[in-house]
Structure 1
Amino acid sequence: MSDVRRQRVARAVDVLRGQLRAPFAASTGTVVLLWASLTPSLMPRTALFQALLTALCMLAGYGAGALAGWLVRSCGGRLTGRARVIAWRVLAVAGGVGTLIMLGLSLRWENEVRDLVEVDRVGVVHLVLTVLITAVLFALLLELSRGCKALGRSIGRFLGRFLPAAASTVIGGLIAAVLIYQLAIGVGGGRLLGALDASFAAINEEFSTDVPAPTTPELTSGPASSQDWDDLGRQGRVFVASAPTAADIGEFTDEPALQPVRAYIGSGPEGVDIRDEALDAVAELEALGGFDRAVINVVTGTGRGWVNENQAQALEFMWGGDTATVSLQYSYLPSWMSFILDRQRAQDAGLALFDAVYGRWLEIPEADRPLLVVSGESLGSFGGEAAFSGAQDLATRTDGALFVGPTADNRLWNRFTDEREPETPQVLPVLDDGEIVRFADRPEEWALPGTWDGTRIGYLQHANDPITWWSPEVALERPDWLAEERGRDVSPNVRWIPGVTMLQLGVDQFSANSVPAGQGHQFGTAPVHAWAAILPPPGWTDQRTVELAEVIGDRKWLR
């Protein structure tokens, strides 16, 4: 090998050593947070999601350890000589053995969670993939963070010409952090939102070409409608095309039924104008005869305008088709993206749609008014609550409400949960003896000992749904649902770990819709039982609820 090549190899080795070198405190923090990331949470994790979680935790541990080490060194503390050698040897042995033990335990915990939610177990291959993907992700994240640190040092060196060294270092780091934040969130976030809107706007127009516009006057884009089929968007067309027919409902009721009214306003090619859409929705509902029906269901959909068919069809079948369901599209983004990037749209949509429908509803003579209910799932529940100030407002202006899979940011849900009776758990609270508002995880839990007369407001939620239980506060404060007895199908080995639990629940959300019905964020036919408890028609029985749940569960519709 030539001298030039040897020098290049030596430089490459030196660079690699420099990249692998880490302070003792930072390395300790990395190992500790690695172990913490392997503890169980609410949902099963694929190797990719576990690796993502572990890499993020390791990076957080590295940063926390580096900060702690810097503070100790600033106060004069430093590992040197034999003490340093011993410390590194102890960390190497403890880290290696401890990591092997934690990997073994993590596999057991993972399969325990999988058994609880009834999905297939995983084996050693899962662990191997997790380790390999984690190594790659952590290396990438660490290099990115070091690049940010280098930027701060460069700014600090420049400021060092005018300021004391300590001040320039701190200020340089702060300036770098602000610059990166503004680029990522301010400039990048705005551009990202615009790019995502444009991308998903294209997806919004995709739909099966062999599904024609409806020909019945009770449906949007039908003969009585002013809305063009092409302007409804993908989820709007899915919603309208999935409507059950009068014959479908009559087969269940064994008597003549009506074609349910379904009114929907899409954002169209010009984009979203929520107030105009809400007014159009009322006009559409009027044109289709919705205000002449027995029940009007005002639904706030998820980001792209998706409406859960199990919720909508439960009321339609239950009331013999004598219903009208109205909704609108307020975003092109999937629910989780809309919630992260622009959640205000959901609240604006829920408020505008209900107020518009309610205003027209008030114009109807009181004796002739249909029953008026509101509903929404996930982000739709977050938006649907926005039209109301509290339980009494809901009870005064509606005849019932069903909110499924609420988010931890739901304003009213948070208030009702915080004001629950002291002896009741956070995962299944009781508010004012259940006089107006009730919570249920399973059908039988709607029936509390007290009376539930008048308007009934229901929250359907699962104890292991990370979308309901994730919040930033979990990073620093143990939530009640982890301080109290564990809820249904929550592993007894789930423990609160500052910072880590928040990251675990954040990653869990990506798996919450990939589990069987009755788990996570999948509610199956539970809305049938919920509506039967909240707004049953005269003469309705528990047996009919069971039969309807079977019918709804067997029905197929477009996606």
Structure 2
Amino acid sequence: MSATTDPQATTSPSSNTPDATTGAVETASPVGAGDRLRRYGRTLHPVGLTLALLFFCWSMTPSLLPRAWYLQAVATGISVATGYGIGCLAAWLVRKCGFTVRHSERTRRIGWWTLLGLAVVAVPTFLVLGSWWQQIVRELAQAEPASRSYYLLVLALSLTVAIAILAIARAIRGGTNRLTALGLRYVPAPVARLASLVVVLVVSVLVVNGVVYQGVIGLANRSAAAADQSTAPDVTEPTATERSGSPASAEPWDSLGREGRTFVAGGPTPEQISAVTGRPAPMPIRVYAGREAAASVEGVADRVVAELERTGAFDRSVLAVATTTGRGWVNARVASSLEYVAGGDSAIASMQYSFLPSALSFVADRKTPPEAGRALFEAVSAAVDARPAESRPKLVVFGESLGSFGGQGAFSGAQDMLARTDGALWVGTPNFAPQWAQITADRDPGSPERLPVVDGGANVRFAAAAADLDLPAPWGTPRIVYWQHASDPITWWSFDLLLHKPDWLREPPGPDVDPGMRWIPFVTFWQVTMDMVFSADVPEGHGHTFGRDAVNMWAGILDPADWTAAQTEQVRAVVGGDQTEE
């Protein structure tokens, strides 16, 4: 619909036609105060608006998890702005290639009215369809239904987001044009355009990184550090010598951080474990060191090893190294399940490496988690190797989310894990974890990306639920389990979603993913991005919430000789319920 115009038409006071050089509609003189919105609309490109409408409709389609209406509005607003930009870019390229189309005034008016008619029909239709699709996704995720009336607000907020993005883009373009005009006084036009673009991009990056990014992250880090001094409700200082933070520990209670205090104060008692196993059980050992225990992650790891030595952890049958999320969180269900399956004859070593919650660590610091995971595992592994081979405990590793990413940082891949551990449980691994990505890419032909089969399941197995551990082939030792859900956006989010269709969207979907989900360039990326915000606020077994199946996972990995299915059900009843990182 991009077109050139008749010169006489563009000089008419009532002109409402596209400009020949920009493709935008020329602004007419205002008639009244209410004319401002109309004037703004005339600056918009018809091709851009057509693509924006299409992206609006696409953005309403289902994705992995149910979205709050305001997250839907943000995803829609970004998609609309993206579609508009693609449309304008396409029209600009066509003009630069020398193609122009001349339309009569009547044809142009028909085009605009047709676009308006399409919008009047498509927008309310897809708002209704979007609210309906979200209800289906909620049912699949076993989430509570939400009022569909909130979708009336999606249009207003999404347009606000789209207009704000467009305003920023126009401001950048305006700055580039002014710098180009200045540069034309001194250098040829191509050089002036390139130089102005580089200057604007550099300034924009410096402003975002130096002022916005560093300022926000700095403020968040200070706020998180202050919050780390608090203690969760009903969490009290342990008295058992087997726990860090106790009177016998070299790690003071106040130094462990909020999540560290919760970790060492929790877990099953010997009596609770005995009620399941029918045998006397020792007190499970939990050791931990806070972020400020030493100047470096290596120093913090050394303090954790000292706590292991103090508590006699190397004499237990199972020693687990747990890599935490950003501010030191360990999934209590995963930790407690290991202690039940091990009959209490276990020790778990962990440490804090940051004050930032996972969401901010995900954005601001992907370097420290693998450094911390490597430092802790190397320190513990060296202490285990220093003992006689016949008296060493089983050395296992685990981590969830950012902790899974960090924990795998100690290893080069699956073979390295198998060579240096007696088992591993990686939960909700982010897509950017290189070890997970390589193992997934090397899966057996024909196995799906959401649940890969590796070497027939000889040592490494992927599971969304307990039943997925059962494969026809024998399961050798050591055993590695990747526990992930088909509907978890943390696992499936990637920048590749912008322009590449992933295998998990080419294959039959998981049981909790809407079969109507389709990959759409740009749109799917923003949908899955918004899905991550509340990915842990769904019932266990979906999204990024991992619950009672932890018992089955540890029973499969440790494979204790006298463990029964009835005991698994007993523990599942005890550790049930939802717990997410605070």
Give the one of 212, 221, 238 matched to 2:245: 221
Alignment-derived partner of residue 386 in structure 1: 409
Q: For residues 245-394 of structure 1, what are the structure 2 equivalents within 5 Å?
A: 245-268=269-292, 273-394=296-417
CA 1:525–1:272 in 2, change beyond 3 Å: closer, same or farther?
farther
Alignment-derived partner of residue 82 in structure 2: 60
Is residue 129 of structure 2 the alignment partner of residue 108 of structure 1?
A: no
Distance in 2, Cα, partners of 1:255 & 1:249: 8
Give the one of 199, 213, 226 matched to 1:175: 199
| Larger mean Cα displacement after TM superposition, 548-557 or 427-436 | 548-557
CA 1:419–1:309 in 2, change beyond 3 Å: closer, same or farther?
same
Alignment-derived partner of residue 202 in structure 1: 226
Distance in 2, Cα, partners of 1:467 & 1:211: 29
Alignment-derived partner of residue 44 in structure 2: 22
Alignment-derived partner of residue 4 in structure 1: none
**Residue 387 of structure 1: SS of its match in structure 2?**
coil
Q: Is the 8 A contact 1:272 1:331 kept in 2?
A: no
1:168-212 deviation line (CA, Å, top 9, x unaligned):
345423431232122212554233332221111111111148744
1:147 positional shift: 2.2
| Larger mean Cα displacement after TM superposition, 136-145 or 328-337 | 136-145
Specify every segment of 5 or more residues in structure 2 that has no aligned partner in the other structure, as ranges: 1-28
CA 1:180–1:13 in 2, change beyond 3 Å: closer, same or farther?
farther
Alignment-derived partner of residue 466 in structure 2: 443
Q: Is the 8 A contact 2:64 2:531 kept in 1?
A: yes
Q: Is the 8 A contact 2:243 2:249 kept in 1?
A: yes
Q: Is the 8 A contact 1:238 1:558 kept in 2?
A: no
1:297 positional shift: 0.7
Distance in 2, Cα, partners of 1:225 & 1:537: 31
Is residue 210 of structure 2 the alignment partner of residue 189 of structure 1?
A: no
**Residue 453 of structure 1: SS of its match in structure 2?**
coil
1:431-454 deviation line (CA, Å, top 9, x unaligned):
001111100111111011111122
Alignment-derived partner of residue 265 in structure 2: 241
Is residue 98 of structure 2 the alignment partner of residue 51 of structure 1?
A: no
1:14 positional shift: 6.1
Distance in 2, Cα, partners of 1:547 & 1:533: 16
Give the one of 144, 148, 156 matched to 1:132: 156
Alignment-derived partner of residue 160 in structure 1: 184
Distance in 2, Cα, partners of 1:344 & 1:101: 45
1:527-546 deviation line (CA, Å, top 9, x unaligned):
11111111132211122112
Distance in 1, Cα, partners of 2:233 & 2:338: 29
Distance in 2, Cα, partners of 1:46 & 1:184: 28
| Larger mean Cα displacement after TM superposition, 293-302 or 148-157 | 148-157
Give the one of 478, 487, 500 matched to 1:477: 500
Q: For residues 388-403 of structure 1, what are the structure 2 equivalents within 5 Å?
A: 388-403=411-426
Distance in 2, Cα, partners of 1:389 & 1:231: 32
Distance in 2, Cα, partners of 1:11 & 1:265: 68
1:252 positional shift: 2.6
Distance in 2, Cα, partners of 1:464 & 1:398: 29
Q: Is the 8 A contact 1:72 1:78 kept in 2?
A: no
Alignment-derived partner of residue 424 in structure 1: 447
Specify every segment of 5 or more residues in structure 1 that has no aligned partner in the other structure, as ranges: 1-7
| Larger mean Cα displacement after TM superposition, 57-66 or 8-17 | 8-17
1:336 positional shift: 1.6
Distance in 2, Cα, partners of 1:230 & 1:136: 46
Give the one of 54, 62, 69 matched to 1:32: 54
Q: Is the 8 A contact 1:379 1:406 kept in 2?
A: yes
Q: Structure 2-normalised TM-score?
A: 0.90
Distance in 2, Cα, partners of 1:485 & 1:247: 46
Q: Is the 8 A contact 1:224 1:288 kept in 2?
A: no
1:145 positional shift: 2.6
Q: Is the 8 A contact 1:114 1:120 kept in 2?
A: yes
| Larger mean Cα displacement after TM superposition, 211-220 or 225-234 | 211-220
Alignment-derived partner of residue 20 in structure 2: none
1:11 positional shift: 8.2
The residue type equivalent to 2:407 in the other structure is G
1:226 positional shift: 0.4
Alignment-derived partner of residue 230 in structure 1: 254
Alignment-derived partner of residue 5 in structure 1: none
Distance in 2, Cα, partners of 1:164 & 1:78: 30
1:150-179 deviation line (CA, Å, top 9, x unaligned):
222222222222344465345423431232
**Residue 576 of structure 2: SS of its match in structure 1?**
helix
The residue type equivalent to 2:504 in the other structure is W
Distance in 1, Cα, partners of 2:171 & 2:581: 47
Query: How many positions carry a matched residue from both structures?
Result: 551
Distance in 2, Cα, partners of 1:177 & 1:92: 35
Please report the RMSD computed on the Cα atoms of aligned residues, expressed in angstroms.
2.2
Distance in 2, Cα, partners of 1:323 & 1:448: 28
Q: Is the 8 A contact 1:304 1:330 kept in 2?
A: yes
Distance in 2, Cα, partners of 1:555 & 1:18: 53
Alignment-derived partner of residue 456 in structure 2: 433
**Residue 424 of structure 2: SS of its match in structure 1?**
strand
Distance in 2, Cα, partners of 1:403 & 1:248: 26
Q: Is the 8 A contact 1:241 1:558 kept in 2?
A: no
The residue type equivalent to 2:311 in the other structure is L
Q: Is the 8 A contact 2:277 2:567 kept in 1?
A: no
Q: Is the 8 A contact 1:298 1:354 kept in 2?
A: yes
